[in-house]
Amino acid sequence: MTPPLSNPLGLIAELTHRCPLHCVYCSNPTELINRAEELPTETWSQVFQQAAQLGVLQADLTGGEPLARPDILELIRAARAAGLYVNLITSGMPLDEARLAKLIEAGLDHFQLSFQAANQETAQEISNTKSHAQKLRVLEWLKKVRVAVTLNFVIHRRNIDQIQEMLQIAESSSATRVEFANVQYYGWAFANRENLLPTRVQLDRSLEGIKSAEARLRGKIRIESVVPDYYAKFPKPCMGGWGRKLMLITPNGEALPCHAAKIIPNLQFANVKQSTLSEIWERSEAFQKFRGESWMQAPCKTCDRRTIDFGGCRCQALLLAGDAATTDPVCTLSPNRPKVDAILTDLNNSVGAGFVYAEPPSAPPADATLTKPAWLYRPNPA
Amino acid sequence: MTPNPQSRPRLAAGVRLGQNNNQQVLLMPERALRLNGPSLQIVQRCDGNHTVQQIITELQQIYSQADPKKVETDIQGYLTLLNDQRALDFE
């Protein structure tokens, strides 16, 4: 028996793929959308209204850099007028104190500021942009306005040893929420994975630090952390289950069940220019493809955890096992788990891992590429 | 943490009431809590004017059939939960 279809709760609005940063783990697809293809203000406003009617509670205005949209104030007003809770997920780059005040006046509920590291040097290496000082300025401006603030630290091998310094930044800000979100390996991050995936020792130490901070800051700052799932025993319930809770709209209006779904071959995506959100949610091929359990193979098909993790992530199954309909290979029950273990074994045995973790070396490391990896930076689309 | 009875809770920045399918919800960063009778009555009083003690007294009057001590404990527990979510500031 199929349970009745519930409504989506969150709308992820990728307003643009343009961005002043070039982060090596960007969650945007490797094929970026140009400005000329972006949806106009009016279409986004209709999308927000349709989302609220469908039962969506929250809109994540993201990108790229959502502040690259000159109509961002109108978009915030439209989302708020539709009845949505408005989150802005931003690098804080195209911002000054006056523009921040206008965002809040327009109805912004929650300002989520991304950080690439706890210091300028690492942040620049990761984003290929001088951005850290601007973020610290934004934190000072945020103290003077009334808005919820989250600091979003994206975690990987190059900054995972900076958790304590990141907490210092958070504690001296007005943030009530901090995310330590380990990079998930799709798109740009998949291409840069060998330089991003932390070692087991690093991960364990960071989790200890986060755990003690959670206890110490309880009632002051809510801390949420996401581990790199290659190290997990069971997969994450990606997007809360395919087509169960979230919808993502790309800058040109395609409706996706997750950030990376475009990589799945032969999957057709409906567009908000042609269909309403409720038609897309209820009937589009893409949202139905991996919804529920009928698509599942062994071992998921009969597994007790299928209602907890929904078989894990379809894109990860495709990237690591070559089949989007198979069990997420990070699952220890998956026949493909040895592929993940091999990646971890290689990493944890490699010289590079040892170097990154070692005390400052007295001599330069033999392998210079380990200190300055050959990053594949994400470009800024036209 | 048990909230100080004389403190005045109010919804933190970016936390507000909303509606979904005729159900009242408390909206906050990346989360929404469904509110029913007592939880809604508590949240409506987290306005920076009511003290914790006043909220307890008012709900004890509304739920006069219930054990007053249990009403007090439940409210303290709920306010602590909201505070751990960083949905409240205490003034």
* Residue A26 · residue A188 · CB < 8 Å: yes
- Residue A365 pLDDT level (bands cut at 50, 70, 90): very low
Which range is least confidently modeled, A78-92, A124-138, A311-325, A337-351? A337-351
Question: What is the DSSP pairing of strand A246-249 with strand A255-256?
Answer: antiparallel
pLDDT in tens, A18-40: 999 999 999 999 999 999 999 99
CA A79/CA B52 separation, integer angstroms: 34
Which range is least confidently modeled, A9-23, A32-46, A113-127, A359-373? A359-373
CA A46/CA A59 separation, integer angstroms: 13
pTM score of the predicted model: 0.93
Q: Does A220 touch chain B (CB under 8 A)?
A: yes
pLDDT in tens, A291-303: 999 999 999 999 9
Strand (E) positions, chain A? Answer: 10-14, 58-62, 85-90, 110-115, 148-155, 177-182, 222-226, 246-249, 255-256
Which range is least confidently modeled, A188-197, A218-227, B18-27, B79-88? B18-27
**Closest C-alpha among A44, A113, A30, A111 to residue A79:** A44
Q: Give me the pLDDT at residue A357, please.
A: 36
CB pair distance less than 8 Å for B29 and A220? no
Q: Give me the pLDDT at residue A354, please.
A: 39
Burial class (CB in 10 A: 0-12, 13-18, 19+), A234: middle
CA A210/CA A258 separation, integer angstroms: 27
Q: Give me the pLDDT at residue A356, please.
A: 39
User: Is B21 a residue whose pLDDT tops 90?
Assistant: no
* Residue A269 · residue A286 · CB < 8 Å: yes
User: Does ipTM top 0.90?
Assistant: yes
Q: Give me the pLDDT at residue A371, please.
A: 57
CA A51/CA A96 separation, integer angstroms: 30
Q: Which two tokens stand for residue B15?
A: 């936390």
Q: Give me the pLDDT at residue A205, please.
A: 96
CA distance A362 to chain B (A): 45
- Chain A residue closest in CA terms to B3: A219
Share of chain A above pLDDT 70, in %: 93
Provide the β-strand partners of residue A152: A114, A179
pLDDT in tens, A135-190: 999 999 999 999 999 999 999 999 999 999 999 999 999 999 999 999 999 999 99
Helix axis angle, B68-84 relative to B37-45, nearest 10°? 70
- Chain A residue closest in CA terms to B33: A57
Q: Give me the pLDDT at residue A373, please.
A: 78
Contacts of A87 in chain B (CB under 8 A): 29-30
Closest in A146, A148, A219 to B29, CB measured:
A148
User: Is A85 a residue whose pLDDT tops 80?
Assistant: yes
User: Is A107 a residue whose pLDDT tops 60?
Assistant: yes
CB pair distance less than 8 Å for B13 and A148? yes
pLDDT in tens, A56-80: 999 999 999 999 999 999 999 999 9
Q: Give me the pLDDT at residue A290, please.
A: 96
Provide the β-strand partners of residue A107: none
Q: Which two tokens stand for residue B45?
A: 């009083």
pLDDT in tens, B47-58: 999 999 999 999
The residues, ordered by sequence, that sit 6+ positions from A281 with a Cβ below 8 Å of its Cβ are: A5, A7, A8, A54, A243, A247, A287
Q: Give me the pLDDT at residue A284, please.
A: 96
Q: Which residue has the higher pLDDT, A54 or A369?
A: A54
CB pair distance less than 8 Å for B14 and A58? no
CA A327/CA A296 separation, integer angstroms: 8
User: Is A370 a residue whose pLDDT tops 90?
Assistant: no
Q: Which of B16, B20, B30 to mutate to test the interface with A (most CBs of A within 10 A)?
A: B30
Q: Give me the pLDDT at residue A372, please.
A: 67
* Residue A104 · residue A149 · CB < 8 Å: no
